[in-house]
Amino acid sequence: MTNGTEIRLHRILRKGRMLCIPMDHGISNGPIEGLEKPHSMIYKCESHGITCVIINKGIIKTLPRPPKVGILVHFSASTSLSTAPNRKMLTGSVKEALRLGADGVSLHINIGGKEEPEMLADLGMISEQCHKWNVPLLAMMYPRGENIKNPHDPEVVAHTARIGAECGADIVKTLYTGDIDSFSKVVESIPVPVVIAGGPKAKTDMEILQMTEDAMKAGAKGVTYGRNIFAHNSPEKIVEALAGIIFKNQTAKEVASIIGN
Binding site, by residue number, is 24-28, 142-144, 198-199, 226-227
40's CB contacts (< 8 A; 6+ apart) are: none
201 is catalytic: no
CA distance 258 to 229: 14
Name residue 73's beta-bridge partners.
Answer: 55, 105
24 is catalytic: yes
Q: Long-range CB contacts (< 8 A, 24+ apart) of 246-254?
A: 246/17, 246/18, 246/19, 246/212, 246/216, 246/222, 247/14, 247/15, 247/17, 247/19, 247/49, 249/216, 251/213, 252/206, 252/209, 252/210, 252/212, 252/213
- How far is the CA of 1 from the CAs of 6, 133, 206, in angstroms? 10, 16, 43
Is residue 170 within 8 A of residue 192, CB to CB? The reply is: yes
Q: Mapping DSSP to helix (H, G, I), strand (E, B) and coil, where does residue 194 land?
A: strand
142 is catalytic: yes
Q: DSSP readout, 7-64? A: HHHHHH-BTTBEEEEE--HHHHH-S-TT-SSHHHHHHHHTTTT--EEEEEHHHHHT-S
User: Looking at 142, 214, 221, 225, which residue is catalytic?
Assistant: 142
User: Looking at 173, 176, 205, 214, which residue is catalytic?
Assistant: 173
Name residue 19's beta-bridge partners.
Answer: 223
Q: Mapping DSSP to helix (H, G, I), strand (E, B) and coil, where does residue 79 land?
A: coil
By annotation, the residues acting in catalysis are: 24, 142, 173
